[in-house]
Amino acid sequence: MMKAHQQRGRTHTSLPSLITLVAIVSPLASAVPSLTDDSKCECYLTNGTQASFFATHEFLDFRNLAEHAGIPPTITKPNDSGSAPVTSEYFTSKEWTEAFWVLSWNNSHQIREDATVLMVNSPNNVYIEANSDRNPSSQTWLTLRTQRLKDFQTASEIESVAPGFQYLSVRMLARTVGSPGAITALFTYRDADRLADVQESDLEVRTMDPRNTIQYTNQPSYTEEGEEIDHATKNVTLPPGHPDWTHWAVHRLDWTPKETVWYVDGTEVATISFQTPRDPSKVILNAWSDGGEWSGNMSVNDAAYLQIQWLEIVYNATDENPAKRKRNDSGVAAVMPRERDEDGEGGCDVVCSIDETPEPGKPVMLWNNGAMRMVGGGLVAWIPSLVTFGMLALISGGLW
Ligand SMILES: *[C@@H]1O[C@H](CO)[C@@H](O)[C@H](O)[C@H]1NC(C)=O
Ligand SMILES: *[C@@H]1O[C@H](CO)[C@@H](O)[C@H](O)[C@H]1NC(C)=O
Ligand SMILES: *[C@@H]1O[C@H](CO)[C@@H](O)[C@H](O)[C@H]1NC(C)=O
Ligand SMILES: *[C@@H]1O[C@H](CO)[C@@H](O)[C@H](O)[C@H]1NC(C)=O
Ligand SMILES: *[C@@H]1O[C@H](CO)[C@@H](O)[C@H](O)[C@H]1NC(C)=O
Ligand SMILES: *[C@@H]1O[C@H](CO)[C@@H](O)[C@H](O)[C@H]1NC(C)=O
Ligand SMILES: *[C@@H]1O[C@H](CO)[C@@H](O)[C@H](O)[C@H]1NC(C)=O
């Protein structure tokens, strides 16, 4: 009986035609997105509460830079610190210089009211370090160092070359280690003459705080008069089971038009919609202290470090639209002319993700409208019935 039905099923759907069907349908309706590369992606869709489309993706990988590794001895004179050169050729490489500046400003002119020490940002405190963990998860990482010396605090800051990020999702695999009295931070920043006009979304670790608390803020969180603006900032205790800031974790800051959302290892930990930055901004990371109330005081010779294995950003920028450029380079637009924005994806056909990927830095393709159109607009409408038909054929082939 069963055999007879099976035979009948087979006669209705020959094996070659079934394979053809699966071959056509599976790449289009695939549930597991496959690894691709940025040249194929026209935009990136993030997950989370403010899931958004972004035009561009950048990934800076500090995990395999053994040839540049070395811990430069701290420079103990303030003047020499500010004027120090970069610590290795990595910081003159195209990969780095297209993305970041290493800064050397100091607070002697614009000292915060409560600062008690001279703080000098030194290129000497930004370096590639060999991974000395017991079970190393990389060869190297990038270190931002700050250390208290007899006469001053030596500190570090890097700033994006691009001044015009306007909405982004930035992530880093990072940790903070070291002594109390310092701040390590990742933030968006738009300078202004008046404190009240500064726009800034912050992730700050205060090394004097408990290791499971992180401060998230849409600045300014205080007024010129020194009053605190409570709803601009959140002191978050990381959920139980989460690595504290001394352990490697993916810290993520999503700056979107509605609000800024922060995540640790994929779990949302804070959202602030008050004072969400509106205008084009830079991305900055630093490790510092000025002996003031916020950073605290470091004891002489104590140090703290922000260590980063990789840094990843998907973003829109105001100074150019790389998505358009890519689209033209790849010739996709020429093959498939199409109205922009018809589906609210900014005219983006090939949508990728940096969330669903098994390999940090490598996007996966979520879907490709272009491929569907290429096969023929009509096919899209047919996919459900083709799948149903295919499954029926499989069921009838396999069970009956
Ligand atoms: C985003 O997707 C990744 C991979 O599926 C997951 O680990 C993460 O928890 C997700 N994050 C959010 C906020 O949904
Ligand atoms: C540091 O440089 C400034 C000028 O930029 C100079 O006035 C000062 O004397 C220098 N300090 C030392 C200790 O060399
Ligand atoms: C601090 O910065 C000012 C202005 O840029 C510079 O003149 C001075 O030499 C710097 N001081 C130190 C100690 O680096
Ligand atoms: C954040 O909260 C913790 C207690 O949960 C406290 O010890 C710490 O001082 C607070 N940090 C700030 C900046 O308020
Ligand atoms: C930090 O130490 C200096 C002395 O080195 C002191 O004047 C200042 O009050 C201290 N600041 C804090 C916040 O403890
Ligand atoms: C796209 O690129 C071609 C050359 O590859 C160029 O001739 C054309 O002007 C470009 N179109 C746009 C819209 O930039
Ligand atoms: C980024 O730009 C694209 C294309 O213009 C747009 O569709 C998208 O909504 C923008 N993303 C955000 C978060 O504004």
Q: How far, in Å, is the centroid of ligand 7 from the Cα of 314?
A: 11
Region of poorest pLDDT, from 99-108, 184-193, 323-332: 323-332
Say how many C-beta atoms besides its own lie within 10 A of residue 179's C-beta: 19
Contact yes or no for 186/251 (Cβ under 8 A)? yes
61 pLDDT band, cuts 50/70/90, is very high
Please report the pLDDT score of residue 346 as a whole number: 60
pTM assigned to the model: 0.82
Please report the pLDDT score of residue 297 as a whole number: 95
Please report the pLDDT score of residue 369 as a whole number: 86
CA distance 214 to 233: 11
The reply to whether ligand 3 has any atom less than 6 angstroms from the CB of 123 is no
- Domain coordinates of the chain in residue numbers? 17-54+322-396, 56-315
Nearest CA to ligand 7 atom 9: 53
300 pLDDT band, cuts 50/70/90, is very high
Q: What is the CATH number of domain 56-315?
A: 2.60.120.200
Q: How far, in Å, is the centroid of ligand 4 from the Cα of 212?
A: 10
Q: How far, in Å, is the centroid of ligand 2 from the Cα of 149?
A: 17
Percent of the chain at pLDDT exceeding 90: 70
Average pLDDT, the chain: 84
Q: Which ligand is nearest to the CA of 333?
A: 6
